[in-house]
Chains A and B, each alone.
Chain A
Amino acid sequence: MLFGPSGSGKTLTLQCLAGLVRPDRGRIVVNGRTLFDSTAGIHQPPQARRLGYVFQGYALFPHLTVAANTAFGLRDRPRAERDERAREVMERLGLGHLAGRYPRELSGGQQQRVALGRALAPDPELVLLDEPLSALDAPLRRQLRDDLGVILHDWGKAAVLVTHDLAEAYQLATTVVVYANGRVIQSAQKSELLWQPASESVARVMGIRNILRGSVLKAGPEAIQFRWRGQILEAVNSPTHSYLPEPGSPLAFYIRPEYVRLIRKDRAGPDAGHHMNLMNAAVAREADAGTVWTLYLVLDEPGEPAQGAYDLEVEVPKLVYEILEIARDRHWQISIHRGSIQVLPST
Chain B
Amino acid sequence: MLSAEALSAVWLSMRVAVFATAINALIGIPLAWVLARHRFRGRGLVDLLVTLPLVLPPTVTGYYLIVLLGRRGWLGAPLYAVTGWSIAFTWYAAIVAATIMAMPLMVRTARAAIESVNLDYEKAAYTLGRSEWSAALEVTLPLARKGLLAGLVLAFARALGEFGATLMLAGNIPGKTQTLPLAIYTAVQTGETGESFGLVLMLTALSCLVLIASSRLGGRAQ
- Which chain A residues have a beta carbon within 8 Å of chain B's beta carbons? 15, 18-20, 45-47, 49, 51-53, 55, 57, 59, 61-63, 72-73, 75-76, 118-119, 122
Contact = CB atoms under 8 A, between A and B. Distances in A.
Interface SS of chain B: helix, strand, loop or mixed? Answer: helix
Contacts of B126: 19-20, 45-47
27 contacts: A15-B123, A19-B127, A20-B126, A45-B126, A46-B127, A47-B126, A47-B130, A47-B131, A52-B127, A53-B123, A53-B124, A53-B127, A55-B120, A55-B124, A57-B120, A59-B120, A59-B123, A61-B139, A61-B143, A63-B143, A72-B125, A72-B128, A73-B127, A75-B130, A118-B124, A118-B128, A122-B128
Given A61-B121, A61-B143, A118-B128, 20 more contacts: A18-B123, A20-B123, A20-B126, A20-B127, A46-B123, A47-B127, A47-B130, A47-B131, A51-B127, A52-B127, A53-B124, A59-B118, A59-B120, A59-B123, A72-B128, A75-B129, A75-B130, A76-B129, A122-B128, A122-B129
B203 to A, nearest CB: 35
A49 B125 CA distance: 13
Contacts of B127: 18-20, 46-47, 49, 51-53, 73, 119
Contacts of A19: 126-127
B218 interface: no
Nearest to B120: A59
Contacts of A51: 127
A73 B129 contact: yes
A239 B70 CA distance: 89
B139 to A, nearest CB: 6
A119 B127 CA distance: 9
Contacts of A57: 120
A45 B124 CA distance: 13
Nearest 10 A/B pairs, CB to CB: A73-B128, A59-B120, A46-B126, A53-B127, A59-B124, A63-B142, A55-B120, A47-B129, A20-B123, A72-B128
A70 to B, nearest CB: 10
Nearest to A48: B129
A62 B127 CA distance: 17
Nearest to A53: B127
A119 B128 CA distance: 8
Contacts of A72: 125, 128
A18 B131 CA distance: 14
Contacts of A47: 126-127, 129-131
Interface string B107-133: 000000000001011011111111100
Contacts of B120: 55, 57, 59
B98 to A, nearest CB: 31
Contacts of A75: 129-130
Contacts of B142: 63
A313 B126 CA distance: 49
Contacts of A61: 121, 124-125, 139, 143
Contacts of A63: 142-143
A326 B40 CA distance: 70
Nearest to B135: A47
A63 B121 CA distance: 11
B118 to A, nearest CB: 7
A119 B129 CA distance: 11
A73 B130 CA distance: 8
Contacts of A59: 118, 120-121, 123-124
B12 to A, nearest CB: 37
A17 to B, nearest CB: 10
A53 to B, nearest CB: 4
Interface string B57-98: 000000000000000000000000000000000000000000
Contacts of B121: 59, 61
B88 to A, nearest CB: 44
